[in-house]
Structure 1
């Protein structure tokens, strides 16, 4: 059981540590990051129930992958972040959105990973780490980046919408690839993950640039 727990949560903890330590200016209180991670863990249980209900209605597998998978998961992660930390005093720079979103998402991914490995064994742990766990982290980077933009620019509604829409689109594409079979799966998933990492790391860089721009010029956060 110890090996199972370690294999299930180690990728999530490693990725969370990576993005947490990427904060160049002011690291977030660890207690808040841990709290968001726990919220993500607890979020698995109501989502699983809702997914079973949705899946009983959606007999077409690709529609199930988009609505019961991507939409439900990204919406509830977004909901938790928005209502528990978006207005918190510690959310005081754009990169903070990435940290908190990644914490919630990797809490969710770690619990989901534990349940999956419990049912299917440890032999696929490395595949789970490379695909679903890192995928959840990178969807969250995009979500957190636009939440940071929403908080620190005047176009709040636009960026709040994008903070949900873009992760949903990326997650839907990811799920659709996983739902496909044979050569399509092999030929698409690896380049997709490389592109996803490129998108995520670019959003990290852009969030840091917004903070640097604000600190150096004292003109508020960028509008682009």
Structure 2
């Protein structure tokens, strides 16, 4: 009921990320839930290691034959009021100071492809640590719990591809006002030498 994938850096990776590490990704099936656990180990003897990590789980939408994308909604575990930062798809950068109102005292976000006309939606101000994708017609759905991740990215395409991505991220793309040093970026996780950091999210099938 469990499988583990692991990687250590090769020479090319070390040219871009100057730390010896091991990343283990453990998937564990428990009933109708699958847990993903990222285990990041700092193999350095003396250096503290900074890192970000995130996931890209995407789900068929619609889940049921005969339904449409617009039959689905995302429900947040808390009532949310938040804005989203401006993104620059051509560079991957964000402007965390230039923000647009997005959720206003609501728990429900109806899905529509027009939501993604500019780019993915970066939710960096959520109180919720759990979101549910559900059909208004069949009631079928799933839940993503992401207690260890402060950010949630929503993404789909504008060419009506039948999916929605609900992505827990521990950090964000570089913001325009940030410098180029990874260890100085906001939300960065730092691991002491020979220590392991763990971050977990769960996907649960409903109904």
TM-score (norm 2): 0.27
Which is helix-richer, 1 or 2?
1
For the pair shown, the structure with the greater C-alpha radius of gyration is: 2
